[in-house]
Amino acid sequence: MFTWYKQGTPLERNTFWGCFAGWGLDALDVQMFTLAIPAIIAAYGIDHTQAGAISSVTLISSALGGWIAGALSDRIGRVRTLQITILWFAGFTFLCAFAQNFPQLLVLKALQGFGFGGEWAAGAVLMAETIRTEHRGKAMGAVQSAWAVGWGAAVLVYAAAFSWLPSDTAWRVMFAVGLVPAGLVLFVRRNLKEPARVAPASAAPKVSVLGQITQVFQPRVLRTTVIGAVLGTGAHGGYYAIMTWLPTFLAKERHLSVLNTGGYLAVVIVAFWCGCMLSAYLLDLIGRRRNVALFAFCCIVTVLAYVMLPLTNTQMLVLGFPLGLFAAGIPASLGPLFNELYPADMRGTGVGFCYNFGRIASAGFPVLVGYMSHSMSLGMAIGIDAAIAYGLAMIAVLLLPETRGKRLRGVVPESAPDAVDNTRLTLDPPRG
């Protein structure tokens, strides 16, 4: 599993750790808010709807940030964009500690989201273009697991802050700790290198950032963009349909409050990490299409069993592990797949659009669950919606070509500078 790391060049290893740290610190900054929600509600005297609005605005702004940062990385470079986005989300997380009222926090969280969504897009493309072809899936899947590490770190910061400080001070201290990721920029500047990209045979005219964004709708990649957007929607929609309503389902229909216990939270975090690592292993073993389809199918079966079968409390807690594991495996697959579908001149734009279009579109699935629950049980609504979303993901990925083993044209690998035909910016034919 980790042979690829031992065989990696110093640049590959540094790039892995730089992106791993960035994604983990993203999770630290984002998950701190979910843990601090009760204290923030008390501090500002807001209701659950307003608190939910902060999460929704952050999600939408992160999607927009990912799309724009992807395009920016095609224009000014992957490493420079990564530096900008890290400083952006760290700075605005820190400023959240000084918000004096609800509107200020809403704006600052939206700006924070813009940065953390952009960091993923820039880092995913940097990883794809730096790691050698045969190990790309394993490395990028492993980077996705950093979210679980950052999530766990957020829980530890939360426990320490609220154990030693008054509630109204503790949540502000948590956000202040969010400035820590800014130090990662020093590592990025010193140890990461922009992938060497060859010039196309005929120099293309410079376009604006808006023009760069719209390139993914060119006829040569339009089909890929549409199917990729549907895949992103299914992957994210299923996840949010389950995770948004799972606490309510367990509390109201199963009369459990286990999501408020540290033990259950630990199970969820470990399951997420294991799902990413299992997906990382399978990506290079069975291919991108089969991996996504397998995890989507397992998600459908698991969630339907979870919400519809007459399980005991213990059985539900046990089944919660594979539920989280399979749900994590699909997002871990999207980075390698989307990178391998686009040519170098629009790779960042394509990756940013497909992944983040899914984030925005997926916001409709939790709403649909709530609407359907008026005419059926909440568990039934969750199961149907999640099955629809993951069914979309299965269909979409089977309409895409298998990309395992593709070299990324337009990029000169450090280990094999002569391996790329510098007259083309397209991809090799798919293998398998």
Domain count across the chain: 2
Is residue 1 situated within a structural domain?
A: no
Query: Which domain CATH number covers 355?
Result: 1.20.1250.20
pTM: 0.79
374: Cβ contacts below 8 Å, ≥ 6 apart = none
Is there a single domain that holds both residue 128 and residue 273?
Answer: no
Q: How far is CA 317 from CA 259, 268, 302, 313, in A?
A: 10, 10, 13, 6
pLDDT of residue 197: 62
- Of 139, 163, 194, which residue sits at a domain end? 194
Is there a single domain that holds both residue 116 and residue 236?
Answer: no
Place of tokens 């069914």: 391
Is residue 350 situated within a structural domain?
A: yes
Is there a single domain that holds both residue 137 and residue 228?
Answer: no
pLDDT, one tens digit per residue, over 280-325 is: 999 989 999 999 999 999 999 999 988 888 877 778 778 888 988 9
Is there a single domain that holds both residue 228 and residue 179?
Answer: no
Is there a single domain that holds both residue 227 and residue 183?
Answer: no
Range of the domain at 107: 9-194
Share of the chain above pLDDT 90, in %: 20
Start-to-end C-alpha separation, the chain: 21
Is there a single domain that holds both residue 155 and residue 244?
Answer: no
How big is the chain by its Cα radius of gyration, in Å? Answer: 21
Is there a single domain that holds both residue 312 and residue 372?
Answer: yes
pLDDT, one tens digit per residue, over 142-185 is: 898 898 898 888 888 888 888 899 988 999 999 998 888 788 88
- Of 194, 225, 247, which residue sits at a domain end? 194
Is residue 4 situated within a structural domain?
A: no
Is residue 205 situated within a structural domain?
A: no
